[in-house]
Amino acid sequence: MRRALNPQREIVHNRAAFMAFSFLLMTICTAHARILRTRPTPSETWDPLLPLTIGLGIDFETNSKSSQYDLPFLLEYNFTEPLRMTIEPNVVHIQAKTKTRAR
């Protein structure tokens, strides 16, 4: 004999079953995907007409004590196919948050 669940517990049980079924369905549907053609990244190829690759990123983090700005930079020059020079400086600025006191 099955005991009757309270309505709130039954809703949670049904949602969990639905989420599990949805996850299973998503993984089955995406498992058959394949990449037909890929393009190499600019740093993996050597082009005598444009041997320069430049990249820049911006990252910002903050919390109650400080803020941090992070600027990673990439400069790559391909002299020949096997010889390349890569420079990756990273500029970081950390700014402390100060508390002002009322006088």
| CA pair distance 13, 21, nearest whole angstrom | 12
Please state, rounded to an integer, the average pLDDT across all residues of the chain: 78
| Close Cβ partners of 58 (under 8 Å, ≥ 6 residues apart) | 69, 70, 71
41 vs 56 pLDDT, higher one: 56
Look up the pTM and report it.
Answer: 0.45
* DSSP code per residue over 49-80: S--EEEEE--EEEE-SSEEEEEEEEEEEEESS
Mean local confidence (pLDDT), 67-94 = 89
Q: In the chain, where are the structural domains located? A: 7-96
**pLDDT (0 to 100) of residue 68:** 92
What's the chain's length in residues?
103
Residue with tokens 């196919």: 81
